[in-house]
Chains A and B, each alone.
Chain A
Amino acid sequence: MTGGVRTLAVALVVAGLLLPVAAFAQTGEEYLYPLVDLPPAQPMNVIAEDQPNDSGEQINLSWTLSIDDPRRGRGRGNVVAYHILRKPAEVEGAEFVLIDQVSAGMGWYSDPNCEPDTAYTYRIGASNGTSIHYSDPTESVVSASHFFHSQRWNALIGVLLISGLLVYFIYSARKGKELFIRRIAGLDAVEEALGRATEMGKPILYVSGLSSMADVATIASVNILGQVARKAAIYEIRLIVPCYDPIVMAVEREVVKEAYLDVGRPDAYNSNDIFFVTQSQFAYAAAVNGIMLRERPATNFYMGMFFAESLILAETGASTGAIQIAGTDAVVQIPFFITACDYCIMGEELYAASAYMSREPLLLGGLKGQDWAKFIIGALILIGVVTSFFTTWFAELFTVG
């Protein structure tokens, strides 16, 4: 081979080797891509962590995006999705199974379908739609179930504190300590309203709202009903209680029956006057309206949780000329009761009502405990406002996890 031919051959070989390299070479900020669709680079640093403070059903995954993810703005940019694969770590012969996939650009995933207290290991695959490049398996991680939510200690302390206050004041009241309660105008009117019903010889209508026994307002309403029933039994007034919820009806029958027994008038108790109407909101309102118009009660009580039917009931009651006393903690409905009723017991006053009316040590002690809790809350707000000028640390103590 002559020197010229050898030189030409060497030049061709060198050019053949250099051309692909040149194809990948960076030109300024850009890359040149090969025509062949190679699998994207795998995601890196895949970490699996147990979700804290849950019931053991979730593991959280995070990873560094593949170098070929379009979001990174480098590499081939051909990642279209990440495949999440999982296998139980302690099952012999178990294989990785695809459980979900997320789109390119996502560097995290929460697996919500774990068995509690089971160890899992994960792999994440970067996919370009035709081929996938998987990461190494993660360390195994246990989806632990937690008995106590470590970020809710503040609620625990608060509930214990208030419970302690309640127990202390109930204990004090039982020992005979005199507990003062200020006058509540709406509740003073109850006696007057019952007196009017007695004079007129007409019944009392008691509506305990449209909620279940799980509602604090309903529980308060049932307590007030007990007191109203005692007085109704003494004055021999008919008490009509149309109920929205069957469980509430059962409880109210018990409460009214007990009240009649307490005052020595079990014969006057009529269970048929405490009856279930319907659980359809406006059908209930229509039925109660009908009762108001036909029975013409002298006094209407609306105590408990109310919704859009509040004004319908109160307006009809007002048109019949009855004395109306309403009490609710439904902030949106209070204005309607203020407008259409003679007396309105607002929010917290509803909870205080049964203690106020009965003067029972147990209830009075509870009310005192609540008052002190309110005082502490007010003080905490003021302390929090002052400290917030310097640090938000104090306010963060009340963050609920």
Chain B
Amino acid sequence: MELATDIWVWVAAILTLFVYSFLIKDNPLYKFAEHAMGGLGVGYWTAVLFYNVIIPDFWEPLTIAIRKLSMTPQNFDAFMAREGFSQMPQIMQDFSPGVSILLLLLPAIIGLLLFTRYIPKIAWISRFSLAFYLGAASGIAIPNTFQTRILEQLRGTIVQDAPDGSVVPLFSFDAWRDFFAAPGIETFFDAISGPLLILGVVCTLSYFFFSKEHKGILGGMARIGIWFLMIGFGASFGYTVMGRVSLLIGRVQFLLTDWLGVAG
């Protein structure tokens, strides 16, 4: 047994135990870990966003664009060299300095408008920012979602790309022919997988049809659909639980090897 001498390993191990103490009941040690984690999370992400977004995507391009407008070419080159900028920011490669400043300030102002929420009299102005954000986000999301979640899924339910690059039907008579020629588990699953997928998609889709009561044919299809969903969820549950168990094993290994030095 060789205890860790690194202070941070001790901090990590103690905090891990504080969090696990929650399994007994809520207690001050867990509360400490919870609040430390929350506070550090906010602090960490604030720093990450400041240094990875605000500085490189806003402040530096804005500074360079303003200098470009206000300085002589020689002084500007000297400024770039002095500040260690090896190349122009992307926005200035695409637009003139004036347009770049405008394109940088516009989103910054929209973002700052959110802070008007703290002044009750003009709090309504913040709605413009939210409206802009929601509109832009929807505009970007809708075509992409339509392509990936509808068109590609639709095609994938009808045909599949064969290894040789050709496109073959998902419901393949050739697979059935192979099965009858050489009956076996593998050929059976090859033959059944396509029709099963088609049946599953159509029946599951019918479960999510809200305009009619689930009775008659629609009710039967919806019932089959819910079976498909539950089988899928069961498989997903088992798979994810295995993943979580491996996370627990990783944490226990950390405590035993890195901290206590009794294993590994």
Instruction: Please indicate the chain A residues that have their CB under 8 angstroms from the CB of B171 in the complex.
Output: 385, 388-389
Whether A388 lies near B158 (C-beta < 8 A) is: yes
Shortest beta-carbon distance from B139 to chain A in Å: 10
5 tightest A-B CB contacts, nearest first: A280-B41, A283-B41, A384-B158, A388-B169, A214-B137
Contact A250-B170, Cβ < 8 Å, known A278-B41, A332-B240, A400-B152: no
Whether B150 lies near A158 (C-beta < 8 A) is: yes
Quick one: which of A293, A349, A394 contacts B158, CB cutoff 8 A?
A394
Whether A352 lies near B210 (C-beta < 8 A) is: yes
User: With an 8 A cutoff between CB atoms, is B141 at the interface?
Assistant: yes
Residues 137-180 of chain A: 1 if any B CB is under 8 Å from the residue's CB, otherwise 0?
00000000000000010110011001000000000000000011
Whether A159 lies near B142 (C-beta < 8 A) is: yes
For the complex, give the distance between the alpha carbons of A179 and B209 in Å. 13
Shortest beta-carbon distance from A279 to chain B in Å: 5
Which B residues fall within an 8 A CB radius of A? 19, 22, 26, 30-31, 33-34, 37-42, 44-45, 114, 117, 126-127, 130, 133-134, 137-138, 140-143, 145-148, 150-152, 154-155, 157-159, 167-171, 173, 198, 201-202, 205-206, 208-214, 229, 232-234, 236-237, 240, 244
Whether B146 lies near A155 (C-beta < 8 A) is: yes
For the complex, give the distance between the alpha carbons of A352 and B211 in Å. 11
Instruction: Please indicate the chain B residues that have their CB under 8 angstroms from the CB of A272 in the complex.
Output: none
Contact A250-B40, Cβ < 8 Å, known A213-B137, A388-B169: no
Quick one: which of A184, A215, A283, A398 contacts B40, CB cutoff 8 A?
A283
Whether A347 lies near B158 (C-beta < 8 A) is: no
Q: Which of B22, B154, B240 has the most A CB atoms < 10 Å from its CB?
A: B154
Whether A286 lies near B34 (C-beta < 8 A) is: yes
Whether A395 lies near B167 (C-beta < 8 A) is: yes
Quick one: which of A180, A287, A368, A384 contacts B157, CB cutoff 8 A?
A384
Q: Which of B34, B114, B127, B206 has the most A CB atoms < 10 Å from its CB?
A: B34
- A183-223 at interface with B (beta carbon < 8 Å): 184, 212-216, 219
Nearest CB in chain B to that of A222: its residue: B134
Instruction: Please indicate the chain B residues that have their CB under 8 angstroms from the CB of A158 in the complex.
Output: 146, 150-151
Whether B169 lies near A180 (C-beta < 8 A) is: no
Instruction: Please indicate the chain B residues that have their CB under 8 angstroms from the CB of A250 in the complex.
Output: 114, 117, 126, 130
Instruction: Please indicate the chain A residues that have their CB under 8 angstroms from the CB of B237 in the complex.
Output: 335-336, 339
Q: List 5 A-B contacts (CB under 8 A).
A: A247-B130, A280-B44, A293-B26, A395-B155, A398-B158
For the complex, give the distance between the alpha carbons of A158 and B167 in Å. 23
Whether A378 lies near B41 (C-beta < 8 A) is: no
User: With an 8 A cutoff between CB atoms, is A136 at the interface?
Assistant: no
For the complex, give the distance between the alpha carbons of A381 and B38 in Å. 48
User: With an 8 A cutoff between CB atoms, is A377 at the interface?
Assistant: yes
Quick one: which of A152, A349, A380, A389 contacts B154, CB cutoff 8 A?
A380
Nearest CB in chain A to that of B143: its residue: A155
Contact A213-B134, Cβ < 8 Å, known A287-B34, A352-B210: yes
Known: A279-B45, A280-B37. 19 other contacts (CB 8 A): A154-B151, A155-B143, A159-B142, A182-B214, A284-B41, A286-B38, A287-B38, A334-B236, A336-B240, A377-B154, A377-B205, A381-B158, A381-B202, A385-B169, A389-B171, A389-B173, A395-B159, A398-B154, A400-B152
Q: Which of A219, A293, A398 has the most B CB atoms < 10 Å from its CB?
A: A398
Contact A279-B41, Cβ < 8 Å, known A155-B146, A214-B140, A400-B147: yes
For the complex, give the distance between the alpha carbons of A68 and B134 in Å. 59
Whether B151 lies near A155 (C-beta < 8 A) is: yes
Whether B233 lies near A338 (C-beta < 8 A) is: yes
Quick one: which of B31, B138, B211 contacts A180, CB cutoff 8 A?
B211
Shortest beta-carbon distance from B127 to chain A in Å: 7
Instruction: Please indicate the chain A residues that have their CB under 8 angstroms from the CB of B134 in the complex.
Output: 213, 219, 251
Shortest beta-carbon distance from A370 to chain B in Å: 8
Nearest CB in chain B to that of A355: its residue: B210
Quick one: which of A283, A338, A400 contacts B37, CB cutoff 8 A?
A283
Residues 225-251 of chain A: 1 if any B CB is under 8 Å from the residue's CB, otherwise 0?
000000000000000000000010011
Whether B234 lies near A335 (C-beta < 8 A) is: yes
- A251-289 at interface with B (beta carbon < 8 Å): 251, 253-254, 277-280, 282-284, 286-287, 289
Shortest beta-carbon distance from B144 to chain A in Å: 9
Contact A286-B33, Cβ < 8 Å, known A159-B143, A182-B211, A367-B210: yes
For the complex, give the distance between the alpha carbons of A377 and B152 in Å. 12
Quick one: which of B44, B126, B209 contacts A375, CB cutoff 8 A?
B209
Shortest beta-carbon distance from B255 to chain A in Å: 17
Instruction: Please indicate the chain B residues that have their CB under 8 angstroms from the CB of A399 in the complex.
Output: 151, 155
User: With an 8 A cutoff between CB atoms, is A129 at the interface?
Assistant: no
Instruction: Please indicate the chain B residues that have their CB under 8 angstroms from the CB of A332 in the complex.
Output: 236, 240
Whether A335 lies near B146 (C-beta < 8 A) is: no
Shortest beta-carbon distance from B192 to chain A in Å: 15
User: With an 8 A cutoff between CB atoms, is A348 at the interface?
Assistant: yes
Contact A181-B210, Cβ < 8 Å, known A286-B19, A384-B154: yes
For the complex, give the distance between the alpha carbons of A395 and B37 in Å. 51
Whether A381 lies near B133 (C-beta < 8 A) is: no
For the complex, give the distance between the alpha carbons of A394 and B169 in Å. 11
Whether B146 lies near A278 (C-beta < 8 A) is: no
Whether A212 lies near B137 (C-beta < 8 A) is: yes
User: With an 8 A cutoff between CB atoms, is A396 at the interface?
Assistant: yes
Instruction: Please indicate the chain B residues that have their CB under 8 angstroms from the CB of A155 in the complex.
Output: 143, 146-147, 151
Instruction: Please indicate the chain A residues that have their CB under 8 angstroms from the CB of B145 in the complex.
Output: 216
Instruction: Please indicate the chain A residues that have their CB under 8 angstroms from the CB of B45 in the complex.
Output: 278-280
Whether B155 lies near A398 (C-beta < 8 A) is: yes
Instruction: Please indicate the chain B residues that have their CB under 8 angstroms from the CB of A280 in the complex.
Output: 37-38, 40-42, 44-45
Whether A289 lies near B41 (C-beta < 8 A) is: no
Nearest CB in chain A to that of B136: its residue: A214
Whether B206 lies near A378 (C-beta < 8 A) is: yes
Instruction: Please indicate the chain B residues that have their CB under 8 angstroms from the CB of A179 in the complex.
Output: 211
Instruction: Please indicate the chain B residues that have their CB under 8 angstroms from the CB of A247 in the complex.
Output: 114, 130, 133
Whether B130 lies near A254 (C-beta < 8 A) is: yes
